[in-house]
Structure 1
Amino acid sequence: MAVTLSEAAARHISKFISKRGKGIGVRLGVKTTGCSGMAYKLEYADESGAEDLVFESQGLKVIVDPKSLPYIDGTELDFVREGLNEGFKFNNPNVANECGCGESFTV
């Protein structure tokens, strides 16, 4: 069981945490929404809770709540630039289908 960061994602997160002046990593999870049923949640984390699962990747912490882990186990969070756009990309091996807009998925 693990959720990891690519080098590009770790660089981007580290830069943001440095500018922000605090933080230990990112919190990843899923929520029920969208056309396909589930969508990713991503936020910067300052601390972890007692129930959280904490993974170390590229020198940063990736924090996941236990209910989300079955849906994102094995996921690599990447940071990509495509033309003029840039953003995080979830490389999730559990995804069975994604909606056309790319905002939600099913497992």
Structure 2
Amino acid sequence: MKSELLITKDLTIEQVFENYPSKAQKLAQIMTNAGLHCVGCQASTFETLEQGMQGHGMKQEEINNLVYELNKVLNEKESTEDVKFTDFAAEKCKNFRKEDNHGFRVGLNKGSCGWTYDFKFKETKEDNEVEFKDKGIKVFIEKEHVDKFKGMVIDYVDGLQNAGFKVLNPNVKGTCGCGSSVTL
């Protein structure tokens, strides 16, 4: 029995985010990884997934693969566990830190259109922080933000245009047009 597709090639990019706000950040990352870089531009309000992909020179098979990957995300069970690293992000984190005992602080900065993530390496946690561990890495988070990070996965993207830590956070309710701020 074939399951019904919740996301189709005929939905606009904006409709995808409006229909699935808790998965918007992860869906946006999949679209961007597939070469659909108009996720945060004005075209996302009127352009369908298919039109956007075709506009970027993608073939029908690539469009079908994108739709499949987006629907796969909708069927994933959301984690309620602590912060986790992908294997690649953990490897990068270990390479970047100055000392083996340094932890990775994940913070939030309030901006004009939402929250942005702030990453830094530090030796010890502060009194207002809690500590988690994953894959041999200490993670420090301010106590007031712990609920905003439950189930969060930290990945590392290494591309021609961008490289850096990327957050997949199931608690995100929306993203701003610039693509760098989130609503939590």
Sort the TM-score into its range (normalised by shorter chain). 0.7 to 0.9
Kindly indicate whether residue 82 of structure 2 is the aligned counterpart of residue 2 of structure 1.
yes
Kindly indicate whether residue 112 of structure 2 is the aligned counterpart of residue 29 of structure 1.
no
1:8 alignment partner AA? F
Query: In 2, distance between residues paired with 1:21 and 1:68?
Result: 26
- Pick the structure with more helix per residue: 2
> CA contact under 8 A between 1:30 and 1:71: conserved in structure 2?
no
| Structure 1 residue ranges (4+ consecutive) displaced by more than 3 angstroms after TM superposition | none
> CA contact under 8 A between 1:25 and 1:46: conserved in structure 2?
yes
Bigger relative contact order, structure 1 or 2 (CA pairs below 8 A, ≥6 apart)? 1
Query: In the alignment, what sits opposite 2:55?
Result: none
Kindly indicate whether residue 118 of structure 2 is the aligned counterpart of residue 41 of structure 1.
yes
RMSD: 1.7
Shift of 1:22: 5.8
* TM-aligned CA distance change 1:95 to 1:12, over 3 Å: same
Query: In 2, distance between residues paired with 1:99 and 1:82?
Result: 22
Q: How does 1:36-75 map to 2 (within 5 A)?
A: 37-75=114-152
Unaligned runs of 5+ in 1: none
The percent of aligned pairs where both chains have the same amino acid is 30
Q: TM-score with structure 2 length normalisation?
A: 0.52
1:31-63 deviation line (CA, Å, top 9, x unaligned)? 21142x211111112111233211110101011
> CA contact under 8 A between 2:94 and 2:100: conserved in structure 1?
no
**Count of paired positions:** 104
Kindly indicate whether residue 179 of structure 2 is the aligned counterpart of residue 102 of structure 1.
yes
> CA contact under 8 A between 2:129 and 2:143: conserved in structure 1?
yes
1:51 alignment partner AA? N
- Pick the structure with more strand per residue: 1
> Secondary structure at the residue paired with 1:50?
coil
* TM-aligned CA distance change 1:41 to 1:84, over 3 Å: closer
Query: In 2, distance between residues paired with 1:70 and 1:41?
Result: 16
Query: In the alignment, what sits opposite 1:11?
Result: 91
1:89 aligned to 135, 149, 166, which one? 166
